[in-house]
Chain A
Amino acid sequence: MTELFRPAAEWELQSMVARLAREKRAIEVVGHGALRNTGRVANADVVLTTVGLKGVTLYEPTELVMSARSGTPVFEIESVLAARGQMLAFEPVDLGPTTGAPGGALTIGGVFATNFSGSRRISAGSARDNLLGVRAVNGRGELFKSGGRVMKNVAGLDVARGLTGSWGTLAIMTEVTFKVAPLPQTMQTLAYVGLPDDLAIEALNVAMATPLEVSGAVHLPKNCAERLRVPKLKDARKSLTLLRLETFSTSIDERREKLKAALKVYGTPIELDQEETFSLWSEFRTLSVMPFSTGTSLWRIATLPTKAPEIVAAIHKFMDAVAFYDWAGGLVWLEVPAAADAGAADVRRAVAVSGGHATLIRAEPEIRSSVDVFEPLKPEIERLTRGIKQAFDPNGLLNRGRMYADF
């Protein structure tokens, strides 16, 4: 069995990594394991978990800022925030349940390591956009900090944001400081029924071009829409195009009517109240609308909103895929049937033609080890990427192979 390291404090984590670095032993970095079945499989000698580093270390509701140790579960953070009427505006997505990892295991460190943000990203920015500062230990065993607790900070390079999306391959975050936001006073949803993908994306982008501050813009094909639990929507038996409005209570009706007027040509929407809206958009945070049939794989495609339907249509020519469009089409979660390469050849070709990049999220470990999980890098970007890896982790010890096969 692989040796497990479970530091209980930052200094302990640093001394463990420093020792492992001296011994040149490769480290798989994990939290509670929510992301363990996502990404490539790390090629490591030991496992180091951050779960011993937990707890909120700073919370100033009136300055909209919180710091927490990286192993703190997201649900704990969200409950502390909710008690003061606040939230993580970027709605972190928990891939645990969809990948066979435990639900509710996602840590705040995992959120920033992957930069996977949910539906409100379209109005509130990504996890990265909301990150203010980090403390972290690199592959040399050095403890360093970047950023801070204030909203604006341009002293030196923005290493904190630079670490987001690096999947623990550059440094192990020990503490993160991030922006929080007030919970919206009221929320409502408009659901347009039966729009084909291209019209739906058009409608979502018409909505995003209004000044009504739409905070969620999702399109679900019929087979995803049918999996919704919200009673008013589950029987629509057609595709659903969903727009969320969040504002203060005296303005919501005005905004809803304006949005309906702007989208008049797309039909008459079903209207959801606050409670229904809350429960609907919570479903997207675990991707529970995807069918996740046995053996299927899941891709995450980032592209221009208007290109999303053509990418999905191109892939449909080769396989029976299910697409859940978020961010007005800027993000597509795509479930593809079982295949030896998880459909990589076709998915990558379609994305290459229209622009964007695709990441393989869910697949059998053998597939995730044999195909490129992350979009292959252009040579000059790969050169910089390897340089950055070398700068943080010269011996390639942290999450080796987790993002790319050979570093």
Chain B
Amino acid sequence: MPHIELPEPDVGVLRRLPILIEGLKSRVGQDLLIVDEEGRRAYETDAFTAYRRVPMLVVLPRTTEEVSKILKYCHENGVKVIPRGAGTSLCGGSLPTEDAIVLCISKMNRVIEIDYTNRLARLEAGITNLQITAQVAAEGFFYAPDPSSQLACTLAGNLAMNSGGAHCLKYGVTTHNILGVKMVLIDGTVVEIGGSALERNGYDLLSLVIGSEGQLGVITEATVKLVPAPEGARPMMIGFRSPEAAGSCVSAIIAAGIIPVAIEYMDHAAIEVCEAFAGAGYPLDVEALLIVEVEGSESEIGILLGRIAEIAARFDPKTVQISADADQSARIWAGRKAAFGAIGRISDYFCMDGTIPLAQLPHALTRISQICAEYGLKVANIFHAGDGNLHPLILYDANSPEQADNAEQAGEAILKLCVELGGCLTGEHGVGIEKRELMTSQFSPTDLAVQTRIKTVFDPTWRLNPAKVFPLAMTDVMRAGNAASTPEAA
């Protein structure tokens, strides 16, 4: 039985629904509203499908001005708002509550301006991640963050979660690739945070906003950096007999001063599933597989892959295979990026998203296997080895309430382990509802108070994306109007 608590709806607000609908209609018109249950049901969950709540109303604005009117109206009428992009969150980041309005900005997906000379693009935030690159690829540029869901996920969602991807070892995550945003505050005020220049003026509000999971405002536009596409890129696959050997190999590559564009790690269970799905030619007789990709000209790629192969040889690899051609490279990445989907075909799973220091990898994997075994569950591990981001996929049967419960508990234990080992609860998926209660294992009450005070500056009544990020008891207290109550100085 799922055990993440969801708040009871505010019946007072539900009772006023007909009035609220009329109020919004008069402000933004009927066309933007989804009132019927069938329509609303499409928004009842995101990619964290174990939890569902049908929102009382869905609004699909087309302009910043409409977003402003909607938020202002909700603010004045004490209505909670769930900002939503494409609904691909893996942690329930856009899960509705029954007394909330879902504000979905997926219709705001226009390109506003592309400036190749200054290497930036201004976009409406509902555009999908991959669409950005598609718009600029012909001119030799791309937008760097590449989460696995990039075909579907929106820039707005990427900004909310500070999304990463396989290639962030070299290019950074969302926060490194954004110059400015246009955001609407809960009271309807439209603010420009950051701008087009590399440096920001005054306090770095943009850093606070990126990754804030819809807690501070609704982003409607963003200015992103465009990066020149590399001349070429090619992955190689190195199979090892043990996680230790693979981990040491990653350390040795970096110690040699080589920063590949990506270093992905898959354990035996993950390799099997992904190979069955993608036919990428992954070796099936190894315990650990590294996919290492480098970029540059043909000759540079050859030299770098050669050096990496030399380094790998010190760790007794079972297989070393450089991608033969563009087709195989595509399949190698297709297999990796489809890993979640591939595993989803054979089993239900919870995808965890902790981070650990690289040196802890062998120990972490051993402990993760033990934890899952204790709960009678299997696990497959995918790891962005270059940046310490670990994705254990805990396999379970969703039809068995006991297994689902066990999987959630195993997941919690794994995330606590990550924190103990010097890592953190989430590297790129976000906290959402999923890890909300675990925040106290990474943060002290004071650490959290520092964060909740910032939230209060932007959203004094705590009505934006409720019941997420912070422990539920804490958000209830804040919303109850005790925003000023904070731990006293030691």
Contact = CB atoms under 8 A, between A and B. Distances in A.
Interface string B225-248: 000111100000000000000000
Contact of A331 (B199, B259, B387, B426): B199
A161 interface: yes
Contacts of B297: 251, 254
Contacts of B449: 142, 144
Contacts of A205: 117-119
A142 B489 contact: yes
Contact of A185 (B230, B257, B453): B257
A114 to B, nearest CB: 11
B127 interface: no
Given A377-B201, A391-B456, A392-B450, A153 B193 contact: no
A143 B204 CA distance: 21
Interface string B242-262: 000000001110110111000
Interface in A162-184: 162-166, 170, 181-183
B458 interface: yes
A142 B208 contact: no
B-side interface mostly: loop
B442 interface: yes
Contacts of B250: 62
A107 interface: no
Contact of A181 (B259, B359, B458): B259
B455 A144 contact: no
Contact of A165 (B200, B453, B469): B200
B172 interface: yes
B228 A210 contact: yes
A142 B197 contact: no
A154 B211 contact: yes
Contact of B118 (A126, A162, A306): A306
B356 interface: yes
Interface in B344-362: 355-359
Given A152-B427, A156-B451, A208-B119, A115 B204 contact: yes
Nearest 5 interchain pairs by C-beta: A387-B457, A182-B257, A161-B207, A151-B387, A152-B427
Given A115-B204, A165-B203, A209-B116, A155 B197 contact: no
Interface residues of A, number: 85
A22 B490 CA distance: 11
Contacts of B198: 121-122, 126, 302, 327, 330-331
Contacts of A97: none
B257 A128 contact: no
B447 A144 contact: yes
Contact of A254 (B161, B190, B300, B469): B300
A162 B208 contact: yes
Contacts of A377: 201-202
Contacts of A158: 162, 175, 207-208, 210-212
Interface in B88-146: 115-119, 140-141
Contacts of B207: 128, 158, 161-162, 164
A3 interface: no
B369 to A, nearest CB: 21
A89 B229 CA distance: 21
A151 B210 CA distance: 16
Nearest to B120: A304
A126 B204 CA distance: 13
A147 to B, nearest CB: 8
A356 B194 CA distance: 10
Given A128-B204, A182-B259, A210-B228, A63 B254 contact: yes
